[in-house]
Chain A
C-alpha cells in the first residue's frame, strides 16, 4: 500500500479516543459509522484513497452520474467566497456505462460502501439510471440529485417543485427494487422545504439528504462581468452551515422517523455534531475535502471525541437531541456549556 498517513494532528498527551458506538442506522441501511463524502467533492473515490482508506468511511457518495458522458461547463467554474465557494461544474462525468465498467468495480474491490448519486434531465432518465444500477456491485444506496433543471418543465429545478420531485423519486423507487434505499437530496432554495420533503417521502424516498448548494453569483469588480462561465453557481462551505442546520431541524421536526443524511459546510467534528443534534443520522463532508483531503476521517474522529466528551455512548442517541429541550439533563458536566447554549438558540427559533 502506498497510502500515506497524515503527519500530525494528535498531540502528545491528548486523551485516548472515547469508546462510542458509532454505528449509523438509516432505515434498513446500517453503516459502521456515519461519515460519508459529499457528492461532487470526492470524484469516484480514487483520488481520495491516496490520502485515506475509503473503505473505512460509512459510505462513499459518488459525483452525480448521468446516462450519457458530459463535458460540463466552460471555465471559470469556481469562485472562492467568504468561508465558502461557488461551483459551476455542470455535472461533468463519464456517463453511467463507463461508471459501471470502470469505477464501480474498483470501488467494490476496495471494499467501499457506495451510495451512487444520480442526476437526469427528465424523470425518465433518473428511472433508467436506477434500473442500470439495480444489480451493480458495492451499491448500498442511491442519492437522487434532484437539483437539476427539468427539461420537460421549462428548466425548473425538480427539487423546487413537490410534484416534479415526487415523479423522479417514484420512478427511481419503482426501478430499484426494495433492497436498496433511496435518498432524495433536497435543495434549500425553496419556500417550504418540509413540503418538498414530505412529497419525496410519500413518493417512496427512504430517506433525505440535505442540503444541496444554494444558488449564488459573483461579479468580478475588475471585468465588471459575471465571474463564472456558467454565470451562477452553487454556494457551499461553512458559510451555508446554519442553513443546513435549520433545514435539517425543520424536516426532522416534521418527519421524525425519516432518516436524514446531513451535509452543508461541515468542517469539524463539532460542525458535524450540530447537524446530528438537529436530526441527521449520517454526515457528509464536501467542500472541506478541497481544503483538507483527510477531512472525512478527521471529522469522524473529532465527532466521536465530541460525543464521548458529552457523555454519549452511542452516536444514534445524539441524533435529533437538540429537539428534546424538555429532557432532564443526563449528560456529564463537561458538556454543559455547549449544549445549553445550543438548546437556547434552538428554542429561540427564527425570531430574527
Chain B
C-alpha cells in the first residue's frame, strides 16, 4: 500500500535505557504497516535548517484506540536531528511519512526463527515475532549491545520467545561478548531455519555468514544514510546481487531496508564493486 504523509504529534516520549521511546499519533500508518518497514520524520520544525528526513524502523503500531492510530520508534541521540527529536514533548507536531520500504519476508510454514538485534536495532523484531508466532513459528531471540543500558526489549523478548540469549561487550548483562558468539549454538539447539537480523552493518555481515554456514536463510534490515526515504534522492544505495546474478547499486529505502542476507555484498558496502551494472570501466563510462 502506498505510504502516507501525515502531520503527527507526540503522544509520549519515554526513556528506555540509553534510548528514547517515542510514541506518535499518526493516523494511517498502522493499517499499512508490516514488520521491517520504517517511517521518515522531519526534524527541527517548520523552518528547520535540517532539511533531510530521519528514518527510523518501526517498533510497533496501534491502528485504533483513544488517540487514533499510533506508531512507536526507538532512537538514540546521535546528532542534531535526534537531539531535537528527544526534546519534543506531548502534543508537539512532527511530520511523518510512512510506512516505507520492503518488510521482512515471512515463512509460509511454521519454521524455527532466530531474531538477532544489535542495540536498538532490536526494535523492529518484536512486531515481526508477533507475526511469526501467529504462523506457528518457533521464535528465539539474541539481543546484544555494548552494555546493559544499550539493550532494548529484553523483558518483552522473554515474554514472547522460546529462548532469549543476551550478550554485552562489557558483561553488564548476559554473556560477555557479541551476538555472533552465541548465535551458532542457539541455531544448533533450535535447528533454526531462518535468521532475521537488524543492527549495525558489521553485525549483519557476520550474522549472515553464520546463517549461511548452517544452511539457514537470512533476512537483514540494513542501516544506510538516507535523505528522503521515499526513493527519489538515490543516496542510500548499496551493492546487491539480483536474481540474475548481476550486482546493482540499489536503494535501501525502496528496494530494502530488508534484503536477503546472501544478496548483499557486505564486504563491498561503501564501494561500487567491479562489474556492477553501469560501473565505470577503464577509459571512462
Given contacts A72-B234, A78-B233, contact A121 B270 (CB under 8 A): no
Q: 1/0 per residue A72-83: CB within 8 Å of B?
A: 111111101011
Least CB distance, B48 to chain A, in whole angstroms: 8
Taking a contact as CB atoms under 8 Å apart, the answer to whether A83 and B51 are in contact is yes
Task: Count contacts on B: residues with CB < 8 A to the other chain.
Answer: 44
A291 to B3, alpha carbons, bound, how many Å? 15
Given contacts A69-B278, A80-B50, contact A293 B272 (CB under 8 A): no
Given contacts A3-B2, A71-B278, contact A8 B51 (CB under 8 A): no
Least CB distance, A124 to chain B, in whole angstroms: 13
Least CB distance, B1 to chain A, in whole angstroms: 6
Q: 1/0 per residue A60-72: CB within 8 Å of B?
A: 0001001011111
Taking a contact as CB atoms under 8 Å apart, the answer to whether A47 and B279 are in contact is no
Taking a contact as CB atoms under 8 Å apart, the answer to whether B49 and A83 are in contact is yes
Least CB distance, A191 to chain B, in whole angstroms: 28
Taking a contact as CB atoms under 8 Å apart, the answer to whether A92 and B237 are in contact is yes
Taking a contact as CB atoms under 8 Å apart, the answer to whether B233 and A71 are in contact is no
A8 to B3, alpha carbons, bound, how many Å? 16
Q: Among B5, B27, B238, B280, point to the contact of A75 (Cβ < 8 A).
A: B238
Given contacts A4-B5, A75-B225, A77-B237, contact A43 B232 (CB under 8 A): yes
Least CB distance, A204 to chain B, in whole angstroms: 26
A294 to B50, alpha carbons, bound, how many Å? 17
Report if A33 contacts B (CB, 8 A). no
Q: In chain B between 79 and 129, which residues have their CB closer than 8 angstroms to a CB of chain A?
A: 95, 97
Q: In chain B between 1 and 41, which residues have their CB closer than 8 angstroms to a CB of chain A?
A: 1-7, 27-28
Report if A51 contacts B (CB, 8 A). yes
* Chain B contacts for A238, CB-based, 8 A: 49, 51
A63 to B251, alpha carbons, bound, how many Å? 15
Taking a contact as CB atoms under 8 Å apart, the answer to whether A2 and B234 are in contact is no
Q: 1/0 per residue B174-198: CB within 8 Å of A?
A: 0000000000000000000000000
Q: Among A75, A82, A237, point to the contact of B237 (Cβ < 8 A).
A: A75
Report if A162 contacts B (CB, 8 A). no
Taking a contact as CB atoms under 8 Å apart, the answer to whether B272 and A47 are in contact is no
Range of interface residues on chain A?
35 or more
Q: In chain A between 81 and 101, which residues have their CB closer than 8 angstroms to a CB of chain B?
A: 82-85, 87, 89, 92-93, 95
* Chain B contacts for A83, CB-based, 8 A: 49, 51
Q: Among B52, B249, B270, B271, point to the contact of A85 (Cβ < 8 A).
A: B52
Taking a contact as CB atoms under 8 Å apart, the answer to whether B284 and A289 are in contact is no
* Chain A contacts for B279, CB-based, 8 A: 71
Report if A329 contacts B (CB, 8 A). no
Taking a contact as CB atoms under 8 Å apart, the answer to whether B232 and A289 are in contact is yes
A87 to B233, alpha carbons, bound, how many Å? 9
Q: Among A50, A70, A93, A292, point to the contact of B2 (Cβ < 8 A).
A: A50
Q: In chain B between 124 and 179, which residues have their CB closer than 8 angstroms to a CB of chain A?
A: none
Q: Among A4, A8, A291, point to the contact of B53 (Cβ < 8 A).
A: A291
The 5 A-B residue pairs with the shortest CB-CB distance in the complex, in nearest-first order: A69-B278, A290-B228, A78-B235, A71-B278, A47-B231
* Chain A contacts for B61, CB-based, 8 A: none
A-B contact pairs, 29 of them (CB 8 A): A2-B1, A4-B5, A4-B28, A6-B5, A7-B4, A7-B5, A8-B7, A41-B233, A43-B231, A47-B231, A48-B232, A66-B285, A69-B278, A75-B237, A76-B225, A77-B235, A77-B237, A78-B225, A78-B235, A83-B49, A87-B233, A89-B234, A92-B234, A95-B278, A121-B285, A238-B51, A288-B51, A291-B53, A293-B232
Binding site for A on B (CB under 8 A): 1-7, 27-28, 42, 49-53, 95, 97, 224-225, 227-228, 230-238, 248-249, 254, 269-272, 276-280, 284-285
Taking a contact as CB atoms under 8 Å apart, the answer to whether B51 and A84 are in contact is yes
A50 to B231, alpha carbons, bound, how many Å? 11
Q: Pick the most buried of B49, B224, B232, B284: most chain A CB atoms within 10 A of its CB.
A: B232
Report if A42 contacts B (CB, 8 A). yes
Taking a contact as CB atoms under 8 Å apart, the answer to whether B53 and A290 are in contact is yes
Q: 1/0 per residue A214-235: CB within 8 Å of B?
A: 0000000000000001000000
Residue of B nearest to A229 (CB): B270
Report if A145 contacts B (CB, 8 A). no
A283 to B28, alpha carbons, bound, how many Å? 32
A83 to B237, alpha carbons, bound, how many Å? 23
Report if A287 contacts B (CB, 8 A). yes
Given contacts A4-B4, A121-B284, A291-B42, contact A72 B53 (CB under 8 A): no
Taking a contact as CB atoms under 8 Å apart, the answer to whether B238 and A71 are in contact is no
Dominant SS at the A interface? loop
* Chain B contacts for A41, CB-based, 8 A: 232-233
Least CB distance, B279 to chain A, in whole angstroms: 4
Report if A151 contacts B (CB, 8 A). yes
Given contacts A43-B232, A78-B227, A78-B233, contact A290 B277 (CB under 8 A): no
* Chain A contacts for B225, CB-based, 8 A: 75-76, 78
Least CB distance, A61 to chain B, in whole angstroms: 12
A92 to B277, alpha carbons, bound, how many Å? 10
Q: Pick the most buried of A77, A237, A290, A292: most chain B CB atoms within 10 A of its CB.
A: A290
A237 to B272, alpha carbons, bound, how many Å? 27
Taking a contact as CB atoms under 8 Å apart, the answer to whether A71 and B276 are in contact is yes
* Chain A contacts for B278, CB-based, 8 A: 68-72, 92-93, 95
A80 to B80, alpha carbons, bound, how many Å? 11
Residue of B nearest to A239 (CB): B49
Taking a contact as CB atoms under 8 Å apart, the answer to whether B5 and A294 are in contact is yes
Taking a contact as CB atoms under 8 Å apart, the answer to whether A74 and B232 are in contact is no
Residue of B nearest to A149 (CB): B284
Least CB distance, B205 to chain A, in whole angstroms: 16
A221 to B208, alpha carbons, bound, how many Å? 32
Taking a contact as CB atoms under 8 Å apart, the answer to whether A290 and B2 are in contact is no
Residue of A nearest to B239 (CB): A71
* Chain A contacts for B227, CB-based, 8 A: 78, 80, 85, 87, 290
A268 to B278, alpha carbons, bound, how many Å? 37
